[in-house]
Amino acid sequence: MAPTADERLLRALYAEHGGPLLGYVLRLTDGDRQQAEDIVQETLLRAWRHPGALVGRPVRPWLFTVARNLAVDAHRSRRSRPPETGEAALAALPAGDDIDRALESWTVAEALADLSAEHRAVLIETYYRGRSVAEAAAVLGIPAGTVKSRTYYALRALKLALEERGLAP
């Protein structure tokens, strides 16, 4: 398919003025090539949208004026917004949201409260305080075998209570 008249005009403008225009805009944007290319593209797009502005006058000064105005607008726009911080600012933020963990902990505490006093006491001594079976037996004043069996049945009851609350698989 043959290019249309508009496409030919745009290609001719870019071929004749693209290089000098990009060099000019690079100086305006302090060497930011991506921004300079965007401004050149927008300048040529405006020339394509307003072909009447190019008739009867030199084209290059018009293109350079449009590009300069776009660069000034972009600069003002960046100054009016807060500066972008990049990845370093994200590293300074807290690692994660602990609200899920807090809610889970709260649910486990509620499930523990629903257990019998004997089951709750055994779990607190063995799991939360980290005591051995013999130490828990001494603290609770019950035989070690009773600590073992209560721990077994307390864990089953706790698992059931957590499943009812949607926490256990």
pLDDT over 70 (residue 95): no
pLDDT of residue 103: 84
Asked which of 51, 82, 113 is the last residue of a domain, the reply is: 82
User: Rounded mean pLDDT of 72-97?
Assistant: 73
161 or 88, which is more confident: 161
| Cα separation, 57 vs 137, whole angstroms | 100
Percent of the chain beyond pLDDT 90? 44
Residues 77 and 103 in one domain: no
CB 26 within 8 A of CB 33: yes
Task: Supply the DSSP string of 23-58, one letter for each residue.
Answer: HHHHHHTTT-HHHHHHHHHHHHHHHHH-GGGGTTS-
Residue matched to tokens 């864990």: 155
Residues 78 and 9 in one domain: yes
Specify burial of residue 39 (Cβ count, 10 A radius: 0-12, 13-18, 19+): buried
pLDDT digits (tens, 9 = 90+) for 8-38: 877 888 888 889 999 999 999 888 899 999 9
Q: Is residue 77 part of a domain?
A: yes
pTM metric for this prediction: 0.47
Residues 78 and 108 in one domain: no
Residues 9 and 76 in one domain: yes
| Cα separation, 98 vs 119, whole angstroms | 29
pLDDT of residue 139: 94
Domain extent, residue 14, equals: 5-82
pLDDT over 90 (residue 99): no
What is the domain-level CATH number for residue 133? 1.10.10.10
Q: Is residue 54 part of a domain?
A: yes
pLDDT digits (tens, 9 = 90+) for 47-81: 888 877 777 888 888 999 999 999 999 888 877 87
The count of structural domains within the chain is 2
150 or 102, which is more confident: 150
Residues 15 and 68 in one domain: yes
Percent of the chain beyond pLDDT 70? 91
Residue matched to tokens 């726009």: 77
